[in-house]
Structure 1
Amino acid sequence: MEPSKTRRRAAAAARSNRERTETTRRALLEAARALFVEKGYGATSTPEVAAAAGITRGALYHHFADKRDLFRQVLDAEAAAVREDILAADRPGLSAQAALIGGAQAYLQAMTVPGRTRLLLIEGPAALGAQEALAIDDANAGRTLREGLAEALGENAVDCDALARLMSAAFDRAALEIDAGGDAARIRQTMLWTINKLLA
């Protein structure tokens, strides 16, 4: 067989293996997310996740070290999706203040995805501990908030790290209130009023 054909077949086989691996991993993450939302972290077992994904338990442990690792990766994906929605709201030409307000609205909307508030704000801190859950937020929505505040207010005007942590807590509380059936329009309006007061 010609060397070029051999290389092409090897490349195609490697690509096929990568695709199968990614499909398996995605199925496990989707099954785990559904179960963690429905039952909570503590009541969900890895055999249940494997069965829901139609994959062996051994395959699950090939992709994830343990249930905690699987859960952490589910949370990472949720937090990254929130961050992407916030970044998508920052259109070219927006002022720093308008971008901050747009990001605030995007965060509250992103957190209305079914199960997301429970995963990130309830199950996450309970299963991983407050510090690790905060680290996930700091790398995603917390980071966008900190950067937005620094740009809108100026680094020297205030301790932006401290302000971002306080505002992040307020946004999380707003998301929890909305998830619990609170008046979403009123809560959003109140959060935007708070930001406008900060920027005044």
Structure 2
Amino acid sequence: MRQQGVRAQQREQTRQALLRESRRLFSERGYAAVGTAELVQSAGVTKGALYHHFPGGKTDLFRAVLLEAQQEVGRRVAAAADAQEDPWVRLTVGCQEFLAAATAPETERIMLVDGPAVLGWSEWRAMDEAASARHLTEALTSLVDAGIIAPQPVTPLAHLLSGAMNEAALWLASSSAGPEDLADTAAALTRMLQALRAD
């Protein structure tokens, strides 16, 4: 029994090493520039271990790294929003935090550049929605219920806002945007959100 526990712990350590090293390499150089041999060497594991944990190889490993990055961004957004008492401030702070977290160096390339390219737009969008849609929908619902936003169906509004923020984040990750553009984008987002207020 104890031996099974040790084996399970070793398997989890191997999985975590693969995730940690591949995330570092993917964020620094991009998916296409990192080979399978480099991934396993960097993690200090065998190719067999990689395929044991991620049967689809590098693509499955990338999918797990992307999921981890999206969940991390979701936690950052939720923590920033939940720290606010006022429901309106909770929404605006959460939206601002999404832009900052999604375009941070350790997540930007994985989430915004390679994610759609490697997995395809549909799968990337579904993963993004699963990671962040619930928080946005809950925030908007509470604002509609409180009369801060005019009564309206929340689902289309959540999709519109999510699409706008994703598009802004994708642009911020592009080569045409500069570091100063994050503040301008955040200000534009604040003005856009302000237009939703019932008062």
Matched, 1:50 2:50: no
Aligned-pair distance for 1:135? Answer: 0.9
The equivalent residue for 2:110 is: 119
Identity fraction in percent:
37
Secondary structure of 1:90 counterpart: helix
Indicate if the aligned counterparts of 1:75 and 1:119 stay in contact, CA closer than 8 A: yes
| Correspondence list, 1:62-101, <5 A | 62-66=52-56, 67-91=58-82, 94-101=85-92
Aligned-pair distance for 1:144? Answer: 1.4
Structure 2: runs of 5 or more not aligned: none
Q: TM-score, normalised by structure 1?
A: 0.84
Structure 1 CA distance, aligned partners of 2:81 and 2:164? 21
Structure 1 CA distance, aligned partners of 2:34 and 2:185? 32
Structure 1 CA distance, aligned partners of 2:33 and 2:40? 15
Aligned-pair distance for 1:124? Answer: 0.9
The equivalent residue for 1:141 is: 132
In structure 2, do the counterparts of structure 1 residues 174 and 93 end up closer, same or farther at CA, with 3 Å as the change threshold? closer
Aligned-pair distance for 1:187? Answer: 1.5
Choose which of 164, 169, 177 in structure 2 pairs with 1:175: 169
The equivalent residue for 2:188 is: 190
Indicate if the aligned counterparts of 2:77 and 2:97 stay in contact, CA closer than 8 A: yes
The equivalent residue for 2:31 is: 41
Q: Provide the alpha-carbon RMSD of the alignment.
A: 2.2
Structure 2 CA distance, aligned partners of 1:153 and 1:90? 17
Choose which of 27, 30, 33 in structure 1 pairs with 2:20: 30
The equivalent residue for 1:7 is: none
In structure 2, do the counterparts of structure 1 residues 22 and 82 end up closer, same or farther at CA, with 3 Å as the change threshold? same
The more displaced of 55-64 and 13-22 is 13-22
Secondary structure of 1:166 counterpart: helix
Aligned-pair distance for 1:92? Answer: 6.6
Aligned-pair distance for 1:27? Answer: 1.0
In structure 2, do the counterparts of structure 1 residues 41 and 92 end up closer, same or farther at CA, with 3 Å as the change threshold? closer
Equivalent residue pairs, number: 190
Aligned-pair distance for 1:104? Answer: 1.0
Aligned-pair distance for 1:43? Answer: 3.6
Structure 1: runs of 5 or more not aligned: 1-9
Aligned-pair distance for 1:133? Answer: 0.6
